[in-house]
Amino acid sequence: MRDFLPHDRPALVLAPMQSVTDLPFMRVCARRGGPDWFVTEFFRVHHAFRPDRYILRSIDENSTGRPIFAQIIGSEPAHMVDAIRQLQHHPIAGIDLNLGCPSPTVCGKSAGGGLLRQPQEVDRMIGALRDAIPGRFTVKTRVGYHHEDEFSALLEIFRKHAIDGLTIHGRTVADRYQTPVRPHCVLRAVNILACPVVANGNVVNAQSGKNYQTMTNAHGLMIGRGAIRNPWIFDQLRALYAGTAPTQPTARDLLEYIEDLYHELARESKTYDEKNHIQRMKKTMLYIVQGMGDVFEEAIRRMQREEEFFAICRAELDHDGLVPDLPPEKSKLFCGFNELLHSDLLAGGSVQSESR
């Protein structure tokens, strides 16, 4: 992964989010600046694994010019090794192992973040995958399952197997998405590991991302929900690192993004079904409307038809006012990010983050 790092700033990566960051979203995001590389939605691996064809298309039909890693999730190393052999026939930049998904269903199968409850199984899994992957092998993790005290043992496992990169969502699995992130844990990994470390979690605007990276000395930032709400965030961060003022999108820019995504997703449907398509758009829109007013959000939740959807969006967004830079700190889908925006936390730089 080190060969992908820009020379003049930290790397910027789009986080994999199930049923959101698919091929249409990647295309739409890339048109607005986009990340330095992508990571697929996770491939669920089991004994009879065959790559999900829809996710596979985000690899085979990736025309953005950006590299893409294939992310896998599962609990049995032998099945994972077989999945890797299949995926290596496709134009991937590397394999990424998901050790962070907090879904109760996934964790109940001792996969994703659930595997962190069994460090010996993490050791066995990473050892088997490292031996099977001739190219880049990266891991996405949380800082523990129940407590961050578990993180030190995990870091030793990652170091032992010489992975090529580590992305850290700075919460425990039990935290899900409801707490502030822990920059000091990311900093500890940066200081211990030889591989690049990417910080993830609670990057809701360009300044929160830059602050997070400053606190941690991370080699990059991975952005998920913040990029759904604001796909310009990658270019805004590039501007900050270049010492220029980021461009703030207008409501009309946001409207064009929504319409672009709607049509991209519609083109991906073999048989366009208006009701199903509206439901798919709601998943994305609920991130976008945070901070845009309760009336707008309620209208989006209730909409059922395409005509109604476009009418609601145009009534709210067909103007040149600026989009709010931040969602509400206590919104339904974003919370705990104020800590990354407080300038006093940066006093003394990353050393203070380590001592917290």
Please give the structure tokens belonging to residue 108. 């109940």
Expressed as residue numbers, the domain containing 215 is 2-242
Shared-domain flag, residues 216 and 259 = no
In-domain check, residue 346: no
Give the mean model confidence (pLDDT) for residues 113-128: 97
Q: Chain-wide mean pLDDT for the chain?
A: 94
Shared-domain flag, residues 275 and 220 = no
Task: Count structural domains, the chain.
Answer: 2
User: What tens digit of pLDDT does each residue of 282-299 get?
Assistant: 999 999 999 898 999 999
Shared-domain flag, residues 27 and 122 = yes
In-domain check, residue 327: no
User: What tens digit of pLDDT does each residue of 80-103 get?
Assistant: 999 999 999 999 999 999 999 999
Shared-domain flag, residues 12 and 54 = yes
Among residues of the chain, what percentage have pLDDT more than 70?
96
Shared-domain flag, residues 289 and 208 = no
Burial class, 23, CB count within 10 angstroms (exposed 0-12 / middle 13-18 / buried 19+) = buried
- Residue 52 has a pLDDT of 96
Shared-domain flag, residues 291 and 231 = no
- Could you tell me how far CA 200 lies from the centroid of its own chain? 7
User: What tens digit of pLDDT does each residue of 223-270 get?
Assistant: 999 999 999 999 999 999 999 999 999 999 999 999 999 999 999 877
Domain stop point among 210, 242, 274: 242
Among residues of the chain, what percentage have pLDDT more than 90?
88
- Residue 272 has a pLDDT of 84
- In order, the DSSP letters of 152-202 are HHHHHHHHHTT-SEEEEESS-TTTTTSS---HHHHHHHHHH-SS-EEEES-
DSSP state of 332: S
In-domain check, residue 213: yes
User: What tens digit of pLDDT does each residue of 36-50 get?
Assistant: 999 999 999 999 999
